[in-house]
Amino acid sequence: MGFSLVGRKEAGLSFIIDGSGAAITTGEKGHIDVPFKCTIVGQRLFADQSGSIVIDIWKDTYANFPPTVADTITAAAKPTIVAGIKDSDDALTGWTKSLAEGEILAFNVDSCTTIERCTVVLRLKKA
């Protein structure tokens, strides 16, 4: 996980999902604390090898931790790689794009074949 913001209004928030040498299994893989108020303006997925993966992202407040599937921000446009190594989406149709400082994001793998390591990047614009 990491983010970068050096005198700019744009940043990237990254989360790595690692299957430890095997195809990534389904389920919740971890959490990120949102470091500042921002808007998601795009997402990218990068895989270690050709395959398919569907990732859901959930958001909730710190007080309501942990986020659940009911807290999805991706609607029907989940980050998805289909028989490839990368995915990109700047439209984010139906997404809840606003993030508040201190909110928690959870990353849940809905399905995966072949891919052993996948990096999720959320492109952000600081408010």
Q: Considering just the CA atoms, what is the radius of gyration of the chain in Å?
A: 14
Contact call for residues 49 and 114 (beta carbons, < 8 A): yes
The overall average pLDDT reported for the chain is 95
The parent domain of residue 6 ranges over 2-126
Q: Residue 12 maps to which CATH number? A: 2.60.120
Selection from 39, 42, 44 nearest residue 59 by Cα? 39
Contact call for residues 3 and 13 (beta carbons, < 8 A): yes
pTM of the model: 0.92
**38 confidence band (pLDDT: 50, 70, 90):** very high
pLDDT of residue 82: 98
The number of domains in the chain is 1
Return the biggest CA–CA distance within the chain.
Answer: 39
Residue 3 has pLDDT above 80, yes or no: no
How far out from the chain centre does Cα 82 lie?
16
Cα separation, 45 vs 66, in Å, equals 23
Residues 54-96: pLDDT tens digits? 999 999 999 999 999 999 999 999 999 999 999 999 999 999 9
How far out from the chain centre does Cα 36 lie?
16
Mean pLDDT for 19-44 is 98
